[in-house]
Chains A and B, each alone.
Chain A
């Protein structure tokens, strides 16, 4: 195959924006997008609520500076302030650009883009398209990439980075249609594979494929990861499935109510109430449940998200998807009854360590979106900032790679290397006396993480989690792939995804254990206070002999001094 100038791994919002921007920056470049699904299936489609931008359409006094401050405060002061500045000042431009290429935004009476309030934000600045914002953005970007003639390699599963000699780059990936292992020599590689929160399995709102593939291959190639212990629990997941009910439901005026009929958020965030930041609301719900004020059910304890007072018209117009999901998965019509909810693992703040332009420590390898960690979200991401992150930094990274592609050479990937990889995959299919089923391991991993490294964490519990994960890794050695066919072997793919999750789970648990403080989404009951003296810094993880070696990196400060975070 002809070497590519840029190969983007992942066809979600950040990958597609990167491809589109790279094409714009230099139309002569040869750009490919590799994705394990058709790009329009990517998890960006599930983002419901919207994207923040200080357009000041709704609140005329909103400013970029206020957005910056809200984001830094929301991050519990762990975000890098230079990165946040880029995020927020690029925001209005990126929303307008999407409008210009056809994204259907909901509108206000004066025909400008509508905005609604979101958790942790001082002004209503979340731009949205009903409750299908991510879906419509993804469609727009996919359409524009088709228009621009980006090469798509759909349903390719990336196995590893080909780091080769000196500055040469490329990828090795499995073509799902044929089972063949193929080489993708490329001058530059952008990893935009999304998050890793699916490792919490049944307590996660994520798609089945959010298994951190990009982070795992970067990590194993020696690129450090950053801030992996910060996993955001979204306050409102559906009780049975963990699927998400958008923060927009509270933005539109929904109440959180406990068994006694109290709007309990008045005890935790008297000013912002239901629209407190996500970490705080999630902890409040869990506390209510732990103290016995939750509802009981066979599927576990839960809380009520009450929308009934909003009326049928508003629910149908602004939250149609939420209504559909509540009916499909809980048998509840939110027009008539409250929705049963419980916090669910939702977003990974951590990821591949990158600089402000998307570069990793390895020449020619870049990362963007949820796969990367710039970091703009620090210890806790604000609602409406994740779509914004993938768009802004997808675009910046696409441009950086396009400008730098000339500096690097494509790797020569030998047939021998490919053959060896194919053999390695075949090994999973060899019959042996004792074997493990991947389904059971996957479920146990989710259970262990949810129990020992969940919303509330404590040293001895995390220790249990760490040894639990080691045990699962040991058992994984005996995992067996029963499907021996070459064509579309989803059995093999799911096993490889599990391998990625296990490696990353170790970093999450190790970070959670090391960080002896409570900050943002990371809550240590044995260290309940934020400890700026010892822990106002990023955590990094480097792969050393198959284990994470923990390091640290300073936080880039700016004009916002450390403050106590109250709402």
Chain B
């Protein structure tokens, strides 16, 4: 067989550098190396470390996409270096053949591409990211729980999580508030909550509805879009919210009331009745105290939302509702058929 040569190209890796002992702030170093098609970003980084500059520092362990060590931002998006092909990244370069490599965001930087994971571990502890077994310890090992395949499938995807923290790095709330629980922990929380072997749902939910908890998520879906294991993280975040609202009866928080107000308005009018939203979310007292000055300003600028009786249903809402119902009925039927 003739020797088959893969395509080679000179590619520049623009790598974030920071040594806290010397540098005041991070900067970039460029490394241009010959790269063969089929090579991953991690292998390129290893090459740079072994052959060009041994001081370039990053974490890597399994090199097979299962340990989660090598999470970093490549061309601006958080992912694993070991499962990212250099050639795929070339299409996403802002400057041709220059791949930008930066550390994960929203966690303290230690050196070059290495960030401190301790804040995530601390949150696992704070939000009880473990199964609190309903089996007493002295009885453990005697018999197995009976678990249906359907239940297993409920948390199967969530247990793919390797805690690489890509979602934490992409989360838009964590950027503003480092105390926010974060998508990875919410995912774990729901994974535990739907597990029939766990008996700590109430305790977990009680912590999650507090400040910096589940209600702070703004549904930007960045976590789910970037999850390296393609886990539908938002489903789990919604799971936590539903749990908080419905089964646990936690309706006594502003977040829950806010969500309820949406649920109340949307089916009726297809839009939100904004005038009364602050009252329904935070109560009359709070609204008068905090929003009265703003309300006056809004009147002056003629920006006040219309009073409830004047809110007209959204155009075409009736037709949309019919079509939506038809669509969901179809989906439900499909799911039923598949199960059979």
Contact partner, B160, options A95, A132, A329, Cβ 8 Å: A132
Instruction: Assess whether A146 is in contact with B197, with CB atoms less than 8 Å apart.
Output: no
| Cα-based distance from A509 to B91 in the complex (angstroms) | 47
> Once the chains bind, are A243 and B156 in contact (CB under 8 Å)?
no
Which of A37, A94, A113, A146 is within 8 Å of B61, CB to CB? A37
Residues on the B chain within 8 Å of A154, using CB: 117-118
Give the distance in Å from the alpha carbon of A359 to the alpha carbon of B125 in the complex.
Answer: 33
A28 within 8 A of B: no
Give A16 Cβ to nearest chain B Cβ, in Å.
12
Determine if A143 and B110 form an interchain contact, defined as CB atoms under 8 angstroms apart.
no
Q: B133 near A139 (CB under 8 angstroms)?
A: no
B140 contact from A46, A100, A437, A440, Cβ within 8 A:
A100
Residue from the list B59, B67, B135, B141 in contact with A45, Cβ < 8 A: B67
Q: Is the CB of B141 within 8 A of A96?
A: yes
| B177 interface residue (CB < 8 Å to A) | no
Q: Interface code A143-164, partner B: CB below 8 Å = 1, 0 otherwise?
A: 1101100001010000000000
Q: How far is the CA of A209 from the CA of B49 in the complex (A)?
A: 16
**A514 beta carbon closer than 8 Å to chain B:** no
CB atoms of A96 and B67 under 8 A apart: no
Partner of A107, one of B21, B38, B55, B152: B152
Confirm or deny: A567 has a beta carbon within 8 angstroms of a beta carbon on chain B: no
B50 touches A490 (CB 8 A): no
> Is B143 an interface position by the 8 A CB rule?
yes
Q: How far is the CA of A277 from the CA of B60 in the complex (A)?
A: 32
B151-178 interface with A by 8 A CB criterion = 152, 155-156, 159-163
**Is A40 on the interface with B (CB-CB < 8 A)?**
yes
B313 CB to nearest A CB, Å: 43
Asked whether, in the complex, the Cβ of B110 is within 8 Å of the Cβ of A241, the reply is no
Are A107 and B149 interface neighbours, CB within 8 A? yes
B57 interfacial by beta-carbon distance below 8 Å: yes
Q: Which of B67, B114, B133 has the most CB of A within 10 A?
A: B67
Give the size of the chain A interface in residues (CB under 8 angstroms).
73
Q: Which residues of A contact B256 (CB under 8 A)?
A: none
Nearest residue in A to B84 (C-beta to C-beta)? A328
Beta-carbon contact of A485 and B83 below 8 Å: no
Q: Give the distance to chain B from A559, nearest Cβ to Cβ, in Å.
A: 26
**Complex Cα spacing A477 to B65, Å:** 34
Whether A104 contacts B141 by the Cβ 8 Å rule is no
- Chain A hits for B149, CB < 8 A: 106-109, 111
Q: Contact mask B175-201 → A, CB, 8 Å, 1/0?
A: 000000000000000001001011000
Residues of B within 8 A of A (CB): 1, 3-6, 19-22, 38, 40, 49-51, 53-55, 57-69, 83, 85, 110-111, 114, 117-118, 121, 124-125, 128-133, 135, 137, 139-149, 152, 155-156, 159-163, 192, 195, 197-198
Enumerate the 10 nearest inter-chain pairs by beta-carbon distance, A residue then B residue, closest first: A102-B131, A439-B50, A143-B130, A111-B146, A482-B54, A97-B141, A483-B55, A93-B141, A41-B67, A207-B62
User: What are 10 A-B pairs at a CB distance below 8 A?
Assistant: A40-B163, A43-B61, A101-B131, A132-B159, A207-B67, A209-B61, A439-B51, A488-B57, A491-B49, A491-B55
